[in-house]
Amino acid sequence: MSTIIGPEDASPGAVLRDDGAALLTVDELCVDYVGGRVPQKLIEGISFPLRQGECLGILGESGSGKSITCKALMGLLDNDFLVRGAVRLKGEGLPLQDERVMRPKRGRQIAIIMQNPLSAFNPLFTIGEQLEETFRTHLGGSVRAGVLAADTLDRMLIKEPQRVLRCFPYQLSGGMLQRVMIGLTLALQPALILADEPTTALDSVTQHEVMREFVRLRQQSNGAMIFVSHDLGALRMVADAVLVMCQGRAVEYGPAETVFNNPRHEHTRYLIETRRELTGRFARLVGAAGAGHALACVSEDAHVAG
């Protein structure tokens, strides 16, 4: 049986110990920046398990270490960073700074959905060319890559899929590119999906549409997911458990509803109260007449990124 350790009971980061049933186990993950004159501690002793089919939400303000944690788990940090700790996927240790080992795992076993979807695509090739190349690389040369690319867009309910496949990335909106990335992830069926602030660069309406696709991704994928966000509304939609970060440390961990409804750490309470204040301020600005519709989009109980 796993034991949840509250922030006042142990050092930050020691939030949960695994009972052996986890798909992913992260034990005392530390990241230091060593590219300058004086090394800087960025992540200090993050630990958590993640089981198949579960979604862990990582919540924190900008600069709290959420994205660095995500990049470290993907093996995307260069030699200016020192990564320590033990990370296991399906019982296999991941050498996070060995690019030779990590490269073939990205895409097929571990997939990342970026904050800026445009950065995930090569501007010199069409969407179709890039999807087909990805499928051939990770699923084998014999796969019918063109058919699979079209099917991927069909499953995402993208209109005129053949036209979209002929487009270059700059010709599509951020929301459309993010939906393509989600569709690609569904097709590859990785064991672990990392979503790093995937709605931040989108407008409010598009955020809502993309979050619905993430809910569908959760329902249709057999893998586990880590969803990184500063937005409580987004995490309410997808997360089973929430890990709260502050200044590179884990300060609270627990079931999502428990963390949101009965937070134990002062920083978690601060994040939730700030959300409530902003929601109340917005309600006063729009006035009683328009508040009903507007609050459906931004209230803490609505499942919309704000």
Q: β-pairing, 192-196 with 224-229?
A: parallel
Q: Which residue has better confidence, 40 or 203? A: 40
CATH of the domain at 240: 3.40.50.300
The answer, yes or no, to whether residue 157 has pLDDT greater than 50, is yes
Q: Which residue has better confidence, 204 or 24? A: 24
Question: At 292, is the pLDDT very low, low, confident or very high (cuts 50, 70, 90)?
Answer: low
Question: At 29, is the pLDDT very low, low, confident or very high (cuts 50, 70, 90)?
Answer: very high
pLDDT of residue 54: 94
Q: What is the distance between the alpha carbons of residues 137 and 172, in angstroms, rounded to a whole number? A: 24
The pLDDT mean for the chain works out to: 83
Calculate what percentage of the chain has a pLDDT beyond 90.
Answer: 51
Q: Give a yes or no: residue 199 inside a domain.
A: yes
Q: Give a yes or no: residue 45 inside a domain.
A: yes
The answer, yes or no, to whether residue 14 has pLDDT greater than 50, is no
Q: What is the distance between the alpha carbons of residues 175 and 179, in angstroms, rounded to a whole number? A: 6
Q: What is the pTM of this model?
A: 0.81
The answer, yes or no, to whether residue 297 has pLDDT greater than 90, is no
Question: At 152, which amino acid appears?
Answer: T
The answer, yes or no, to whether residue 123 has pLDDT greater than 70, is yes
Q: Give a yes or no: residue 27 inside a domain.
A: yes
SS3 assignment for the chain: CCEECCCCCCCCCECEECCCCCCEEEEEEEEEECCCCCCEEEEEEEEEEECCCCEEEEECCCCCCHHHHHHHHHCCCCCCEEEEEEEEECCEECCCCCHHHHHHHECCCEEEECCCHHHHCCCCCCHHHHHHHHHHHHHCCCCCHHHHHHHHHHHCCCCCHHHHHHCCHHHCCHHHHHHHHHHHHHHHCCCEEEEECCCCCCCHHHHHHHHHHHHHHHHHCCCEEEEEECCHHHHHHHCCEEEEEECCEEEEEEEHHHHHHCCCCHHHHHHHHHHHHHHHHHHHHHHHHHHHHHHHHHCCCCCCCC
Q: β-pairing, 40-50 with 55-59?
A: unpaired
Q: Give a yes or no: residue 168 inside a domain.
A: no
Taking CB atoms within 8 Å and a gap of at least 24, the contacts of 261-264 are 264/6, 264/7, 264/8
Q: Give a yes or no: residue 74 inside a domain.
A: yes
Each residue's pLDDT tens digit, 194-245:
999 888 878 888 888 888 888 888 888 878 999 999 888 889 999 999 999 9
Q: Give a yes or no: residue 130 inside a domain.
A: no
Number of domains in the chain: 1
Distance of CA 150 to the CA centre of its chain: 25
Q: Give a yes or no: residue 64 inside a domain.
A: yes
The answer, yes or no, to whether residue 4 has pLDDT greater than 70, is no
Calculate what percentage of the chain has a pLDDT beyond 70.
Answer: 82
Q: Of 23-32, 94-103, 216-225, 229-238, where does mean pLDDT reach its minimum?
A: 216-225
Backbone angles phi, psi at 57, to 5 degrees: -95, 130
Q: Which residue has better confidence, 138 or 27? A: 27
Q: Is the dihedral of CA 177, 178, 179, 185 positive or negative?
A: positive
The arithmetic mean of pLDDT across residues 270-279, rounded, is 76
pLDDT of residue 290: 54
User: For residue 185, what are its two tokens?
Assistant: 């992830």
Q: Give a yes or no: residue 236 inside a domain.
A: yes
The arithmetic mean of pLDDT across residues 34-58, rounded, is 94
The answer, yes or no, to whether residue 279 has pLDDT greater than 60, is no
The answer, yes or no, to whether residue 138 has pLDDT greater than 90, is no
Domain of 22 in residue numbering reads as 3-109+190-298
pLDDT of residue 266: 94
The answer, yes or no, to whether residue 47 has pLDDT greater than 90, is yes
**Triad 253, 256, 262: Cα angle to 5°:** 80
The arithmetic mean of pLDDT across residues 299-304, rounded, is 42
The arithmetic mean of pLDDT across residues 167-177, rounded, is 93
